[in-house]
Structure 1
Amino acid sequence: MTGTGRTVGVEEELMLVGHDGAPIARAQDVIGSARPDDGPLEYELMEEQIETATPPRSSLEDIAAAIREGRAGAQAAAERHDARIAALATSPLALAGTTVGKLRYLLARAEFGLTAREQLTSGCHVHVSVADDAEGVAVLDRISPWLAPLLALSANSPYWMGDDSGYASFRSQVWARWHTAGPTRRFGSPEAYHDAVKSLVATGTILDEGMVYFDARLSARYPTVEIRVADVCLSADTATLLAALARALVETAARARDTPAPDVPVEILRTALWRAGRSGLKDDLVDPRTWRPAPAHDVVGALVAHVREALVDQGDLDTVTELLGGLWASGGGAARQRAWAAESDGDLAAVARRAAEATLA
């Protein structure tokens, strides 16, 4: 499966906020009354958020349109209950989230305590089609060095409980509290991957296979690799860029499956992810070519160079270049949120309101 045969689907977790910018617990109302033309809407752990999912699409133009349609449908559903959607990976305002009153979520809250109670965080998950589990595991073993730059590109959660966290993506810090979250070792075969998942479930420390929260994993529902490392992107353009780069990473890795996969220690991968969450696009990242610090612009350039052939074959290179230019000009989601806070004398409710507007821009 090469070039135009590889499809992409994008899942976005979106915050529900009131017109004052504060998160609002309306998920059951919004989803319960959703109409077919709102698109598929799903629950997340908290009542203050919902999830959209695009159908699998091949062309980047169609992927971009599906992301925007998903956001518009979610907004239409939210408006019926006096709420808005906001592509915020964490709430700028302090809030104790409300766990959705469904058995699985209530069990998670009881079992995992504060880790579950404080998981009002929103990510973006990109599903890229693969031929089978063998190709999927070959991809997982080869994309891990490049996941940290994807986090940096998406970073959109500088605020936590009403304070500036000092991070571009504090969601990545909160999410890392889950004991199955983060980067993984090299598996080598589908059997080794599935044995690892079964072993985690057998420990009894997670509810089920759905709680295997690897940064990239084989989807349990679809024939895809699911890349889960990113914050939900403030801009639909950034989400489109993320989808294009994720597909190109998968394609590049699949083409290299007959060559040895890099054997990078998990502790190095985890440290690179921490650096990406801390810095975003502002400062140095860890360069996957050397595992030494390098300016974010150089590391992102190295990512594009790494997947350039796949981008060219897919016809995505020009669009990716244009979208990257826009991202560098804006500074990304975290930088935009901080700029809005400065413009409003630290009014974080105003930040949330402007994020809601940017979500649909």
Structure 2
Amino acid sequence: MRSVGVEEELLLVNAESGVPLTVATQAIARAETEDGETIDHELQQQQIETDTAPTTEMSVLADEIDSWRRTAIDGARRAGARVVASGTPVLRAERRVDEDPRYQRMVKHFGLTATEQLTCACHVHVSVESRDESVAVLDRIRGWTPILTAMSANSPFWHGTDTGYASFRSQALQRWPSAGPQSIFGSAAEYDELIESMLRTGVILDEAMVYFDSRLSAHYPTVEIRVADVCSDARDTVLIAALCRAIVDMAAQQWQDDVPPNPVSPTLVRLATWKSGRFGLEGDLLDPQTFEPRPAREVVDGLVELVEPSLAASGDLDFVRDEIGRLFENGTGATRQRRVLEKTGSLSDVSAYVARVTAGQDD
């Protein structure tokens, strides 16, 4: 069974106002773990990143996510802040890039794109058996990943403004020149050749700046799926992780069975991602096989039906069905954020609500 690991990028905010705080260094220094592992810095000093160990069990992954969130919350509290799992800040923030030399090079090279970037994603790593299998998977999951953007949508606000999007993070990310859906590679050699060509242009600074929707990890034998917003509710995170594994499993089996990838244009995949980011689950999505609009529930149920053998083999089928039912009943993170604003009229209340959900104190 394939292992799964999750990286979560989290915001640090003022405990009372909800305004992002530049205290990442202090929060990281004051976060304590039993085994000495640490929370990581991110681009901005108002955010941190956690990274779970790989596991084959979704229940273990859920425990890992909860543990890392508690560690982050404790470190943030000691630094005078709260942790908010939202894809973008609810309230306006004065961004301050971390002092790490790599991040400072990015600011010098990319200017306002880097300086203004304050978004938080959930990246899911799924184990693969070889680089050939990895690239075969990338070629076959391109049309399916926009569904994950819709399901995880949790960034309706951008520095105090309702953007009209369910996932504005997915829009802000497109400012980077290497972001978005990739073409079909065909082989590991062609993937490597493209990355080397990208580096030779000097446009991106290093391989870590390959911001494809999905890519090969530079450090682990995994495919990294990068399209999801960080989810306020950890149950949504585990649901996304379970579906990522099933999608990778499905794609790997298609490759073994000599089923060719869908030759859909990256332009159509980009349009599917836009539609997912714009509406989340509150409208139509583009069907990943026809790229025509269909009701979101039908598209999500179609994905589950397609990956049902993988979900059944891993023991995740009932969990995924139940969590999808909950998600459609309660709404995405974006829907829930807007619901709080409609009820209270206060963006600070929205931030406080997301902080409670992040800590498992609300739903």
Corresponding position of 2:30: 33
Corresponding position of 1:18: 14
Distance (whole Å) between structure 2 residues aligned to residue 291 and residue 33 of structure 1: 48
Corresponding position of 1:356: 355
Give the C-alpha shift of residue 18 in structure 1.
Answer: 1.3
Aligned-residue identity in percent:
47
Give the C-alpha shift of residue 111 in structure 1.
Answer: 1.1
Distance (whole Å) between structure 2 residues aligned to residue 11 and residue 232 of structure 1: 9
Alignment of 1:4-153 (within 5 A): 5-20=1-16, 21-37=18-34, 39-153=37-151
Whether the aligned pair in 1 keeps the contact of 2:90 and 2:347 (CA below 8 Å) is yes
Distance (whole Å) between structure 1 residues aligned to residue 157 and residue 33 of structure 2: 34
Residue identity matched to 1:310 = S
Give the C-alpha shift of residue 30 in structure 1.
Answer: 1.3
Give the C-alpha shift of residue 288 in structure 1.
Answer: 0.9
Alignment of 1:161-200 (within 5 A): 161-200=159-198
Tell me the TM-score normalized by structure 2.
0.96
Distance (whole Å) between structure 2 residues aligned to residue 88 and residue 349 of structure 1: 13
Give the C-alpha shift of residue 40 in structure 1.
Answer: 3.2
Distance (whole Å) between structure 2 residues aligned to residue 290 and residue 225 of structure 1: 25
Distance (whole Å) between structure 2 residues aligned to residue 295 and residue 259 of structure 1: 27
Whether the aligned pair in 2 keeps the contact of 1:39 and 1:74 (CA below 8 Å) is no
Residue identity matched to 2:213 = D
Residue identity matched to 1:59 = E
Paired residue secondary structure (1:169): coil
Distance (whole Å) between structure 1 residues aligned to residue 292 and residue 148 of structure 2: 17
Give the C-alpha shift of residue 277 in structure 1.
Answer: 0.3
Paired residue secondary structure (1:281): coil
Distance (whole Å) between structure 2 residues aligned to residue 339 and residue 80 of structure 1: 30
Distance (whole Å) between structure 1 residues aligned to residue 235 and residue 114 of structure 2: 30
Deviations 1:161-205 (A, max 9, x none): 211100000001101110100100000100000111111111001
Residue identity matched to 1:352 = S
Q: Mind listing any 5+ residue stretches in structure 2 that lack a counterpart?
A: none
Q: Mind listing any 5+ residue stretches in structure 1 that lack a counterpart?
A: none
Residue identity matched to 1:357 = R
Corresponding position of 1:279: 279
Corresponding position of 2:253: 255
Residue identity matched to 1:65 = D
Residue identity matched to 2:74 = A
Paired residue secondary structure (2:183): coil
Residue identity matched to 2:309 = E
Give the C-alpha shift of residue 289 in structure 1.
Answer: 2.2
Residue identity matched to 2:241 = A
In the alignment of these two chains, the number of paired residues is 356
Paired residue secondary structure (2:144): helix
Give the C-alpha shift of residue 35 in structure 1.
Answer: 2.2
Paired residue secondary structure (2:175): coil
Deviations 1:7-65 (A, max 9, x none): 00000000011112111111111112332338531111000000001000111111111
Alignment of 1:336-355 (within 5 A): 336-345=336-345, 347-355=346-354
Give the C-alpha shift of residue 79 in structure 1.
Answer: 1.2
- RMSD over aligned CA atoms reads 1.0
Residue identity matched to 2:218 = A
Whether the aligned pair in 1 keeps the contact of 2:142 and 2:269 (CA below 8 Å) is yes
Distance (whole Å) between structure 2 residues aligned to residue 183 and residue 147 of structure 1: 9
Residue identity matched to 1:27 = A
Paired residue secondary structure (1:85): strand
Distance (whole Å) between structure 2 residues aligned to residue 240 and residue 17 of structure 1: 24
Residue identity matched to 2:352 = R
Whether the aligned pair in 1 keeps the contact of 2:33 and 2:71 (CA below 8 Å) is no
Deviations 1:127-166 (A, max 9, x none): 0000110110010000111000000000000001211100
Distance (whole Å) between structure 2 residues aligned to residue 39 and residue 153 of structure 1: 30
Paired residue secondary structure (1:249): helix
Distance (whole Å) between structure 2 residues aligned to residue 33 and residue 278 of structure 1: 38
Paired residue secondary structure (1:145): coil
1:232 equivalent to 2:235? Answer: no
Paired residue secondary structure (1:229): strand
Distance (whole Å) between structure 1 residues aligned to residue 132 and residue 10 of structure 2: 33
Tell me the TM-score normalized by structure 1.
0.97
Residue identity matched to 2:30 = S
Corresponding position of 1:264: 264
Distance (whole Å) between structure 1 residues aligned to residue 73 and residue 160 of structure 2: 25
Distance (whole Å) between structure 2 residues aligned to residue 141 and residue 290 of structure 1: 17
Give the C-alpha shift of residue 274 in structure 1.
Answer: 0.4
